[in-house]
Amino acid sequence: MTYDYIINKTPNMLILIAIYMIFIDIITGYLKAAKLKKINSSISRDGYIKKIGWIVAIIFGYVLDMLLQINTFLYGTIIILIATEGMSIYENLSEIGVKLPFTKYFEKLKERGKNK
């Protein structure tokens, strides 16, 4: 594999990972809502608006990077998306009863966020 191949394939792979993370977050969110018996269309709508916002941010970063001929905005957006969605997936899985190794750290972060 050459360096050019890696650089040219990386944005596409990151976009696929981001879409995968969004999809998995939606699924785990529904599983959590079903387990807690809190399925609510307005909460779902707000979640979908957030997901569409992420997709718009990816498109914006992609276009900006193409215009400026750099790989900064797209990569930055996708890395933040992957981290955010990853934490959400982790929290959702934890709340539906899946035992995960770092759950206690996420609970501490959640408590800090509520106190602010």
pLDDT, tens only, 55-98? 999 999 989 988 998 888 988 999 999 999 998 999 899 889 88
pLDDT band at 3 (very low <50, low <70, confident <90, very high): very low
3-state helix, strand and coil shares in percent for the chain, rounded to the nearest 5? 85, 0, 15
Burial class, 99, CB count within 10 angstroms (exposed 0-12 / middle 13-18 / buried 19+):
exposed
In this prediction, residue 108 carries a pLDDT of 61
Q: Give exposure, 38-73, as e/b (b: 16+ Cβ within 10 Å).
A: eeeeeeeeebeeebeebeebbeebbeebeeeeebeb
Please give the model's pTM, rounded to 2 decimal places: 0.77
Domains of the chain, by residue range, sit at 3-115
